[in-house]
Each structure stands twice: as structure tokens, then as C-alpha cells.
Amino acid sequence: MQDIVATFLIWLVEVIQVPPGSGIFVVMVSMMISTISNLAMKRFADIRRLNRYQAEVKQHKEMEKKAKESGNVKLLRKVKRRKPYIDRIQREMLTQRCKPQLLFIIPFMFVFAYLRGFYSITDPVSGAVTEKIVAILPFNVQNLLPFLNGFIGQPVAGGFGMWFWPFYFMVGLGLGQILQRVMGTNVMSMGA
């Protein structure tokens, strides 16, 4: 039984070290971390209150803009009187949003650091670190944006190979927003 498990684990490590297995694995890890973060947000933050506060802040910003544009002294006074309240709810919003992050930031940093080490090779003599390709974009992004070559990846056969941290960052931003909407944890943005 141990041989089967060991053989499977060796095979799994080999698969997730090179594309496309590495890209799929990074996407799955990113989804898992985003899901845990969103569940914590749902558990520890009052989303309805945060949305209500965000609507009040947005209304205040619009009123402030209108008062400055029109020069209406009465409206400017009203905006100034309401400013301490808006500052207080903005601080409360920040606190509510940071609570879940404070619980999970250290474990998430350990996961990220471990994966960063897993997807890089350190030369024992010089100490130089070489990044491994995690995912291959099926087009040559370096032709359009040459500064990305060597910054987030390098050209490879079949496209542009991305290293771990930029790929994780890109996937995390995209999937994080989608998961927030699906799980109902996104707070209205200022522009909404």
C-alpha cells in the first residue's frame, strides 16, 4: 500500500512541476486560497453593513463634488458636518475587511513562499535563483510588450512562459473577483 501511495505522490510531483500540470495546480491553489479568504470574509464581516456604508460614502463623495462645483455654502457646510461620520464608517469598513485577512495572512504567506521555492531552482554554489516556467501563454506577448521578457517570464516554444509569481498574481486577481461575486462577498466599489 505504501508503494502505491509513494508512487502516486512521486508521479503527482512530477506532473505539477511542468506545464500544463503546474498551471492547473497553481489555478487550483489560487482558487482554494480565494475561497478560504471569501468564506472568512463571509463569516467575520457584515457584508450588508459594508455595502450600506459604501453607499453612504459614495453619496457623500457625490454631494461633496456637487458642493464644490456649485459653490453652495449651505451644502458645503452639510458636507463638512457629515465628514467625521464618513471618516468613522470608512475606518470601520477597513477594520471589517481586514479582520479575516489578519487571520489568514501568515498561512497564505507560507503557502506562497513554499510554492515559490517549489517553482524555482537555487544554484548551491552561487546562490542564484532560476525561475521555472509554470504556464505557457499561447501567444508571444514579448513581441507586443518587450519589457515583460525577463520580468514575468520568457519566450518558449509555443508562446510565452510565465513564472510562478506573475501567473499566480494574474490568476488570483481574475479568480478572486469572480469568486467574490459568486460568494456574495464583494463590497460595492466607489465607482459603482
**φ/ψ (deg, to 5) at 135:** -145, 150
Task: Using alpha carbons, select from 156, 179, 165 the residue that is nearest to residue 42.
Answer: 179
Question: pLDDT tens, 119-177?
Answer: 998 888 888 888 999 999 999 888 899 999 989 999 998 899 999 999 999 999 888 88
Q: Where are the domains of the chain?
A: 20-183
Does the pLDDT value for residue 190 go beyond 50? no
pLDDT for position 176: 87
Angstrom CA distances, 174 to 30, 162, 171, 177, stand at: 10, 16, 5, 6
Calculated CA dihedral for residues 178, 180, 186, 189, nearest 10 degrees: -30
Does the pLDDT value for residue 189 go beyond 70? no
Strand-strand pairing, 129-131 and 120-122:
antiparallel
Using alpha carbons only, what angle is made at residue 88 by residues 77 and 61, rounded to the nearest 5 degrees?
50
pTM for the structure as a whole = 0.79
